[in-house]
Amino acid sequence: FGFGTATGTFDLSISCCTNPPTFTLADGGNNCPLAEFFIDVNISALGDVASVDISDGTTTYFTGVAAGTWRIGPYTTGQVVDVLVAGSADPGCFATDQFTITACPPVNDLCGGALDIFCGQTLSGSTLGATETDEETVTCGTAQGAPGVWYHFVGNGNPVTASLCGS
């Protein structure tokens, strides 16, 4: 630190944030026809400040808010968003995190949206953008931590072979 622009006395004080706000980020919903998404900012603790401002470095979405869930956006699918939660009266007391949605979920992302497939038919698909749903039922479920897409087939009593060979 230096002070040398004039002769005289001054006071130098430094304040430090030892307990910044605590928050997590979650998918706040997709608007896939427009290729955009929203982010839920879940503020669990304010730390050393009485209220916070929520921004992405370009837009300040909320000012002077308390703990709770606050939705920001929209953002373009694939965009990496830097989220800043800073003290309203003390912007030096802050925390940051990043969030993105790389792709909109496919239409058959959930078991309830399963696509019909029939004998002799071949469908192309992708798990890009698919979510982990934890759907654990007799008819639906993926390995824990694996995204899935769903198809529905009604047999006729004869043997059937379903194959992903060559995929």
Comparing CA positions, the residue from 84, 82, 86 lying closest to residue 99 is 82
pLDDT interval class at 136 (50, 70, 90)? low
pLDDT of residue 81: 97
| pLDDT of 90 higher than 70 | yes
pLDDT of residue 143: 58
- Is residue 105 classed as helix, strand or coil in its secondary structure? coil
pLDDT interval class at 112 (50, 70, 90)? confident
**Which residues have CB under 8 Å from 73's CB, separation 6+?**
28, 36, 37, 38, 39, 81
pLDDT of residue 16: 83
Instruction: Please report the DSSP string for 30-60 in residue order.
Output: EEGGGTEEEEEEEEEE-TT-S-EEEE-SS-E
Q: pLDDT (tens digit, 9 = 90+) per residue, 140-167?
A: 655 566 778 889 999 889 999 888 877 6
Q: In what order do the strands lie in the sheet with 22-31?
A: 22-31, 36-45, 68-76
Report the distance separating Cα 72 and Cα 82, nearest Å: 12
Q: pLDDT (tens digit, 9 = 90+) per residue, 20-78?
A: 999 999 999 888 878 899 999 999 999 999 999 999 999 999 999 999 999 999 999 88
pLDDT of residue 48: 93
What average pLDDT does this structure show over 75-92? Answer: 94
DSSP 123: -
Comparing CA positions, the residue from 127, 123, 81 lying closest to residue 103 is 127
What average pLDDT does this structure show over 132-138? Answer: 60
pLDDT of residue 105: 82
pLDDT of residue 56: 97
Take residue 46 and report the two structure tokens written for it.
Answer: 């304010």
Report the distance separating Cα 92 and Cα 84, nearest Å: 11
- Which residue did the predictor score with more confidence, 66 or 124? 66
| pLDDT of 139 higher than 80 | no
Q: What is the dihedral of CA 69, 128, 161, 153, to 10 degrees?
A: 50
